[in-house]
Structure 1
Amino acid sequence: MFEQKSIKETEAALGSDMNKGLSSEEAAGRLREHGENELASAEQATLWETFCEQLNDPLIYVLLGAAAISILLHEVSDAVIIIVVVLVNAVVGVIQEGKAKKALEALKKMTSPYAVVKRDGKQMEIPAAELVTGDLVYLSAGQQVPADIRLVESAGMRVEESALTGESVPVEKNALLVAREELPIGDRRNMAFMSTMVVAGRAEGIVTATGMDTEIGRIASMINDARQELTPLQKRLADMGKLLSILSVGLCAVLFFVAVIQHRNVIDMFITAISLAVAAVPEGLPAVVTIVLALSVSKMVKVHTIVRRLPSVETLGAVSVVCSDKTGTLTQNKMTVKKCFVNQTLYPAHRLPEGEGMELIEGMALCNDAVAEGNSKLGDPTETALLDLAGTYHVSQKKLRQTLPRTAEKAFDSTRKMMTTVHKKDKGYLSYTKGAPDEILKRCSRILIRHEVRPMTARHREQIRRTCEEMSSQALRVLALAMRQGDTAPKEEDMIFVGMTGMIDPARPEVKEAVERFQKAGVSTVMITGDHVDTAFAIAKELGIAGSPKECMTGERLSELSDVQLQNRITETRVFARVSPEHKVRIVKAFKNCNRIVAMTGDGVNDAPSLKSADIGIAMGMTGTDVAKNAADIILTDDNFATIEKAIEEGRGIYENIKKSVIFLLSSNFGEILTMFVAIICGLASPLKASHVLWINLITDSLPALALGVDENDKKSLMKRPPRKENESLFADGGLACTMFYGILIAAISLTAFLKIPHDILAGSGLAFTLDNVAKVLQNGNVLDRAQTYAFTVLGLSQLFHAVGMRDREKSVFRMNHFANKMMIAAFAVGFLLQFLVTEIPYFIRAFGTAALGMNEWIQLIILAAFPLLAHEVMILASVRPRKAERIIKEV
């Protein structure tokens, strides 16, 4: 707004005084009215409220219900295990909370602690928190801007705004400019913004906004307002929790109805119904998911990725759009000279012909305010790039300055668009002028070609202009150099044209390959930057992100579009340039409204709101601001865009493992439910005791499920698939059929084991094998205990065999590398041992009401329990032949 007002209009609008500044009384009154120049803290939930929020989940409700039921059944140890699982999940969640608070604290640290102002006609230093609108503030090089300021006077002032706007080079300010229309932040050359850094020159200005009304304050508000959404996995697990809750209640109701019809003991049936309801809930699932995600965090560290929020790991696998900041993420955030124009020829900067171009290199190093100190260089990025060029050709600025000491200079300003330095050379003087090519060219009458000074012709001028246009079309920032001999004072006329350099913040070399791999994996890469559209498109084209200017959109154009119009255009656009923090948030939301899972990368303060709004916020660890890091879900420790591809690969593998664990647990639990439900509906005694169900769910199930959760996957194969859809069920790609099939199979073999003892007794007695006869036989306590032991043993062991096959549903168990998952070997062995204990150790036999088994019984039960693995092999064999036939047909 104030960029459109003149200095006088700004002074009048804010009630300021250019000569005296505000009075102390007026400043105090404004401070009381508007508050201190600080960023407001977000309203934070208490620790207890945060903890309770972690328990607000349907699956957690079911687990707490299961714990209560276990207590009713006097299974206190089982209840304790369930409660510990719930508490571990809640504590982990609490630890991961509070990102908005940390982001705002980091923003506060970035604000300037002191400001130089004029009040009552006197210049004084005050705490920046006491600044008010209308204050007259003085700015100088090295100072942080303490508030949003409309400049009223400026002298060679350049401000580093990359953290706020994303622009890769410092912005030159001009107090005299008046905008005709509202401009993006990066184009407001007559404004300075809170938290940015003055790198050169000085200025005076009137404070236009303080605290939360500043541009950085608006970013703080967006960080605070952005709500953390559930990840796709959390949504699926929540849906599953609701389904299991309904199923549990439904089972209880059905069994009570059966009890009434069959005239059973209502109390016994109540206990059985509760046991069945407990069987429906995979108590180990939250623990398995949490442990798998926690273990994956250590894996991610190995690929230079720090995970700040556990559930975000699996979300990586669903990412379909990576929105990336340009500066420092796709590029190196270091201006680099790419082209040199000398002797009327354009060369790559690192391949100048031997002996040529030294005048250009030495002149650019001398007409330069940056300073080289050892391996580090201090100063404007454009000028440090010129020193890097000199270093490439072993030209030392320090030695040059000793040989050609600077005796006079004329500083750069925005009107002339050039700077001049004069140097003592032997018994004479030599001056260099560096600046905008068109301004330099106008003041040159001669040209240096191969160490010889010649008159400049129209042909020379035309060739220089064409070369300048060519470099500009490649988004290179072009600087020209001219020189003049013999003058002790700076003169910028009748000069000798030496040459030009073209520089750019270059793309990271590894990014192009990462973008290609993303395309193969069905992941789109989108550039979002505060830089100019020409520069952005040049980098995007080089990296393969965009191929046509039609795929670019500016922030100005974006502002003209409604949310619906933007949503219609969003999938066709690959580059968003000159955008504000608000634009970035709109872009992320537009992609999300198109059912895309969005990862957003960034390193600056301006990226923080969009990092928090995205499904996955990814901050740069080395160059990123604390604000960006605290707003992000994931931090890249090497600032390497290619690392995102490795992280997504890891995320896909983790989701695949969690999916395997979920299907394994649910198919196993479905087998338990079906086993009990079929027997009870048929009027038989329950094949399993409540303690059997809890033992299998909490002990035998969980260890193999955890082993599946840390399994090694064929990640190359995973990265050839398109990303899964946001609303994709955990049972997609045959998952539901797999769950149902193995659940039915496990129930069938468990019931077979349960009925074996009654069958043998009836067969030995010459009686028919009918439901009535079976029910009568099972009324004998000893027979029922042994039959239940058979069912319990087969049910437990069958799930161990089932887990082995679940490692890969498309590969034979004989082709799997079992030593790649040693945890599965351990889980199988421990599970088998635990199952052995409850049938062979007297204490456990009494506790679980089982019967001791003989060697022959064990052999028979193990063979029966291995049927899920046998079924796995049969299905693999059946699917191999059609694939071979299809391959032969293609070859023919």
Structure 2
Amino acid sequence: MKPFFSQSALDAAKELQVDVSKGLTKEEAEKRIEKYGPNRLEGGKEKSLIQMILEQLKDFLVIILMIAAVISIFLGEALEGVIILAIVVLNTFLGVYQENKASNALKALKEMASPHAKVLRGGQIVEVPSSDVVPGDIAILEAGDYVPADLRLIESVNLKIDEAALTGESVPVEKDASAVLAEDASLGDRINCGYMGTVITYGRGRGVITGTGMQTQMGNIAGMLNDTPDESTPLQKKLDSLGKVLGIVCLAICVVIFLLGLLHGMELFDIFMTSVSLAVAAIPEGLTVVVTVVLAMGMQKMVRCNAIIKRLSAVETLGSTTVICSDKTGTLTQNKMTIQKLYVPSGHYNVSGTGYSPEGEITDEAGNVPATYPDRLIEGALLCNDATYDPDKQTIVGDPTEAAMVVLAYKHGMKKAEWESKYPRVQEIPFDSDRKLMSTFHKIGDSITMYTKGAPDELLRRCTRIEENGAVHPLTDAKREEILGVNQEMAQSALRVIGVAYRTMNAADPSPEAENDLIFVGLVGMIDPPREEAKAAIDVCKTAGIQVKMITGDHKITASAIGAQLGIQTDRTVEGREISEMSDEQLRECVKTTNVFARVSPEHKVRLVDAVRANGNIAAMTGDGVNDAPSLKHADIGVAMGITGTDVSKEAADMILTDDNFASIVRAVAEGRTIYANIRKVVGFLLSCNIGEILVIFLAMLTNLPTPLVAIQLLSINLITDAFPAFALGMEKEEPGTMNRKPRDPSEPIVDKKMTVAV
């Protein structure tokens, strides 16, 4: 059976057994809701408080401490037992507190669903709760609505849907119900479909519901979130391993002490109390508290790096990172469309400045002040435009592509309000996906000028003349080929290209037939430019031995061009459909040498992160959309965007960047490396102290002398005397060359041979 986007609208409706003119009957809808269930997302089973507490008590060192406490209380030393138990309770509380702050990503995902939907039932348009929508329903779509469930469009009139939450790309998608697509079409290319939770920004349409609840793309994401296992961080694994070693050493020494006590004819009570003292001496009770405080202080430091840490252990995990998998839009780029190139039949122009700042100028190809400016091109781009721009706040309202044109005009000293007052709009022909054009009519003097903008190939097809140096000439075949060549050259440089044309007439004629016999004016080329600081940050990553991989839903050409500009190796760019054809083993080999991935789906992102981790790497993953949530959960550390990020991505992440800036991740990695180095110093110091305590007690037993330190004295040393110097070590500043070293081996123990000798 073909997917619905590979079928015609009528074939899809036929398969779903619905009359598109009448919709389902009330009775049929009730049957289907019994069959398919309500249109809502399901959550995974949450851990109870008891389960979380029991998990904290599984730790080997904790078990030894609890046994020591029970023995102390049983032998009448209640104070010692209570203090030991208090330490266990404190450690358990800290662990449960951190786990209880775990992600609420699924709750945020559910909140994205629209509460109500308009559907066709029995020939009448009715409003029903979104949970009552079923496969086969005909949904009515209007600007401002959320799409209630996954659907195949059967009608689209100038329909645009913002799918940024699913694909990560900020430009609304122009939909076409008449399109029939290939079966391997990626999610971002399915222009004949709508998806649950996305927003209709323009136009109207109708669609037949093809999937509800967990059978939607959102449901797929919810399922991946539910299926993501909770894993220990590298630090947790190393501390657990250290705990087991210490525990085994402790038990071994206790057995030796017990045997020595019997050999020396000691009372069993004294032997037990000495063993308890030894257990207390062997275990650095203050370690968990000191590490927790060091990590908490690290969290505060990272706020200065514009990074908010949600999970305490993520502070150290950052320092272990060997691969950063980054989204493109808004993280490596500015997420602000910027015009960089202009073309008119008489020549080329460059435009300086980035983003929505009005600062910038138009120069010729050599970078000089041009003899003439492309005034007609800029005027057409400004007037045939529905976006608004505030140059003081540098904010826009409307389509980012149109906003870039308004900013261009401001750079040239042309303010939209003044131009619209001077040449008022009297009529318009809205954009639609069939024509790929938009036209507006303006009163200029005694005549009407119609400005048209849109896809260059469609525009040129309707042009018969060109304007060159203020004069109008016939459009020759040679000139047409030249213009198409410039369009292709711009597109291959990852620029989004828009053509502008005009014609004059006596009266406004808002019919598509008016868009003929046009005079070609020129082309504008724009791009979402890379962040200036991102390239420098990527260079730091290279020095630090950290690989950077760009994973985006954007097109291959755009991804490759941006990757090249940022200095990310782009010998090969792999698309989502290629990933779909790879086995897990093939993908593991692919990620070793490939750094740019384009047109990827949420499932692809999860597979890529899993493949990177399967190669023994510690992976950080950035993202801002709903589509990124599963991969954020699968990564060793998920990094969400604080400005553009959805609530779902923020809840799924371990860290949130308040400035959406890739460079902030790199600064946080440096802080993470420093924190890990300080934790190693703390561990080394505390173990040195504990070894001294063990030797004192062991030598006393060996020489049949009284035990010099009892358990409560050892606890005082471990928790008070040793703790304060340990805190000081944990607060040390970054050492020179921290980011000039390769990442440490993830399998390297926290206590290596060098530290063992030092201790």
User: Which TM class, normalised by the smaller chain length?
Assistant: over 0.9
Asked if residue 442 in structure 1 is aligned to residue 461 in structure 2, the reply is yes
Q: Does 1:359 align with 2:376?
A: yes
Alignment map for 1:343-382 (pairs within 5 Å): 343-350=345-352, 351-352=362-363, 353=370, 355-372=372-389, 375=393, 376-382=395-401
1:538 is matched with: 561
Q: Is the 8 A contact 2:342 2:522 kept in 1?
A: yes
Structure 1 residue identity aligned to 2:595: R
- Of the candidates 513, 522, 543, which is equivalent to residue 520 of structure 1? 543
Letter in 1 for 2:742: P
Matches of 2:119 and 2:182, distance apart in 1:
29
1:638 corresponds to which of 649, 659, 672: 659
1:142, distance to aligned residue in structure 2 (A): 1.6
Aligned counterparts, 1:572-587, within 5 A: 572-587=593-608
Q: Which amino acid aligns with 1:722?
A: K
Corresponding letter in the other structure for 1:426:
G
1:207 is matched with which residue?
209
**How far apart, CA to CA, are the structure 1 residues paired with 2:275 and 2:95?**
33
Residue 112 of structure 1 is matched in structure 2 by: 114
Match of 2:438 among 415, 419, 422: 419
**Partners of 1:395 and 1:248 in 2: how far apart?**
79
- After superposition, the Cα gap between the structure-2 partners of 1:98 and 1:325, relative to the gap in structure 1 and judged at 3 Å, is farther
Aligned to 1:734: 754
Q: Distance in 2 between matches of 1:562 and 1:487?
A: 64
SS in 2 for 1:341: strand
Measured after TM superposition, the shift of residue 196 of structure 1 is 0.6
- Report deviation, 1:496: 1.4
| 2:312 corresponds to 1:310 | yes
Is residue 479 of structure 2 the alignment partner of residue 460 of structure 1? Answer: yes
CA distance 1:211–1:487, shift in 2 (3 Å): farther
- Once the two structures are superposed, the pairs formed by residues 182-193 of structure 1 within 5 Å of their partners are 182-193=184-195
Classify the secondary structure of the residue corresponding to 1:510: helix
Aligned partner of 1:239: which letter? Answer: S
Q: 1:464-863 residue pairs with structure 2 within 5 A?
A: 464-488=483-507, 489=509, 491-548=514-571, 550=572, 552-714=573-735, 716-732=736-752, 734-739=754-759
1:9-37 CA-to-partner distances (Å, cap 9, x unmatched) read 21122121111100011111212332221
Query: Does the CA contact (< 8 Å) of 2:101 and 2:311 recur in 1?
Result: no
Aligned with residue 32 of structure 2, among 27, 30, 33: 30
Q: C-alpha distance in 1, partners of 2:40/2:653? A: 23
Q: Percent identity?
A: 48
Q: Which amino acid aligns with 2:752?
A: A
After superposition, give the CA deviation of every residue in 1:598-633 in whole Å (9 maximum; x if it has no partner): 000111000000001100011111111000000000
CA distance in 1, matches of 2:101, 2:23: 40
1:653-681, Cα deviation, whole Å (9 max, x unpaired): 11111111111111221122123223423
How far off is 1:240 after superposition? Answer: 1.5
Report Cα offsets for 1:511-534 as digits up to 9, x if no partner: 011100111111111111111111
Q: In 2, distance between residues paired with 1:691 and 1:156?
A: 78
Letter matched to residue 361 of structure 1: I
SS at match of 1:329: coil
The DSSP-based 3-state class of the residue aligned with 1:595 is coil
CA distance in 2 between partners of 1:62 and 1:333 (Å):
54
Question: Which of 57, 60, 64 does residue 58 from structure 1 map onto?
Answer: 60
CA gap of 1:249–1:659, structure 2 versus 1, over 3 A, is same
Using the TM superposition, name which of 698-707 and 348-357 deviates more: 348-357
Is the alpha carbon distance of 1:535 and 1:231 closer, same or farther for their aligned partners in structure 2, counting shifts above 3 Å? Answer: same
Higher mean C-alpha deviation, range 656-665 or range 488-497? 488-497
Whole-angstrom CA distance in 2 between matches of 1:212 and 1:636: 30
Unaligned runs of 5+ in 2: 353-361, 364-369
User: Following TM superposition, by how much is the alpha carbon of 1:315 offset from its aligned partner in structure 2, in angstroms?
Assistant: 0.6
Deviations 1:782-830 (A, max 9, x none): xxxxxxxxxxxxxxxxxxxxxxxxxxxxxxxxxxxxxxxxxxxxxxxxx
Change (3 A) 1:251 1:703: same
Q: CA deviation at 1:81?
A: 4.0
SS in 2 for 1:200: strand
Q: CA deviation at 1:688?
A: 3.4
Give SS of 1:430's match: strand
Q: Which amino acid aligns with 2:171?
A: V
How many angstroms does 1:459 deviate by?
4.0
Report if the CA contact (8 A) 2:195-2:217 is conserved.
yes
Paired letter, 1:493? N
Deviation at 1:47, TM superposition (A): 2.5
**Does the 8 A contact of 1:212 with 1:221 survive in 2?**
yes
Task: State the alpha-carbon separation in 1 of the partners of residues 564 and 46 from structure 2.
Answer: 44
1:388 to 384, 388, 407: 407
Q: Which has a greater percent of helix?
A: 1
Give yes or no for contact 1:100–1:224 (8 Å, CA) kept in 2: no
- The 3-state SS of whatever aligns with 1:157 is strand
Q: Find the residue that maps to 2:247 and give its secondary structure.
A: helix
Tell which has more relative contact order, 1 or 2 (C-alpha 8 A, sep 6+). Answer: 2
1: CA distance between counterparts of 2:82 and 2:423?
82
2:323 is aligned with 1:321: yes
1:294 & 1:59 partners in 2: Cα distance?
22
Deviation digits for residues 727-785 of structure 1 (CA, Å, limit 9, x no counterpart): 1111237112112xxxxxxxxxxxxxxxxxxxxxxxxxxxxxxxxxxxxxxxxxxxxxx
After TM superposition, the structure 1 stretch with the greater mean CA deviation from structure 2, 593-602 or 58-67, is: 58-67
8 Å Cα contact 1:99-1:631 kept in structure 2: no
CA distance in 2, matches of 1:346, 1:723: 47
Greater displacement, 62-71 / 585-594: 62-71
User: Structure 1 residues 384 and 81 mapped into 2: Cα distance closer, same or farther (>3 Å)?
Assistant: farther
Question: 3-state DSSP class of the match of 1:734?
Answer: helix
CA deviation map 1:847-882 (0-9, x unaligned): xxxxxxxxxxxxxxxxxxxxxxxxxxxxxxxxxxxx
Query: 1: distance between equivalents of 2:333 and 2:52?
Result: 39
* Alpha-carbon offset, residue 373 of structure 1: 6.4
Match status 1:399 vs 2:418: yes
Aligned residue identity for 1:368: N
Name structure 1 gaps, 5 residues minimum.
740-892
Q: What is the aligned length?
A: 736
Aligned pairs for 1:82-97 (under 5 A) are 82-97=84-99
Distance in structure 1 (CA, Å) of the matches to 2:72 and 2:472? 97
Aligned mate of 1:451, from 465, 470, 481: 470
Deviations along 1:280-322, one digit per CA (max 9) or x if unpaired, are 1111111111111112221111221111110111111100111
Shift in CA distance, 510/106, structure 1 to aligned 2, threshold 3 Å = same
CA distance in structure 1 between the partners assigned to 2:259 and 2:99 by the alignment:
46
Amino acid at match of 1:709: G
Q: 1:71 to 1:118 in 2, by over 3 A?
A: same
Q: Determine the C-alpha separation between the residues in 1 that align with 2:5 and 2:546.
A: 40
Instruction: Quote the Cα distance in structure 1 between the aligned partners of 2:562 and 2:715.
Output: 59
From the superposition, tell whether residues 115 and 689 of structure 1 become closer, same or farther in structure 2 (CA, over 3 Å). Answer: closer
- Separation in structure 1 between the aligned mates of residue 177 and residue 399 of structure 2, nearest angstrom: 20
* Cα distance change of structure 1 residues 81 and 638 upon mapping to structure 2, 3 Å threshold: farther
RMSD of the TM alignment (CA)?
A: 1.9
Aligned residue type for 1:732: D
2:570–2:594 Cα contact (<8 Å) kept? no
Deviations along 1:196-223, one digit per CA (max 9) or x if unpaired, are: 1111111111011111111011101111
How far apart are 1:707 and its partner, in Å?
1.7
**Partners of 1:87 and 1:263 in 2: how far apart?**
36
Structure ID, larger Rg: 1
- Residues 381 and 260 (structure 1 numbering): CA distance in 2 closer, same or farther, change over 3 Å? same
SS at 2:200's partner residue?
Answer: strand
| CA deviation after TM superposition for structure 1 residue 541, in Å | 0.9
Please tell me whether the aligned partners of residues 455 and 497 of structure 2 are also in contact (alpha carbons under 8 angstroms). Answer: yes
Secondary structure of 1:525 counterpart: strand
Residue 433 of structure 1 corresponds to: 452
TM-score for both structures, normalised by structure 1: 0.80
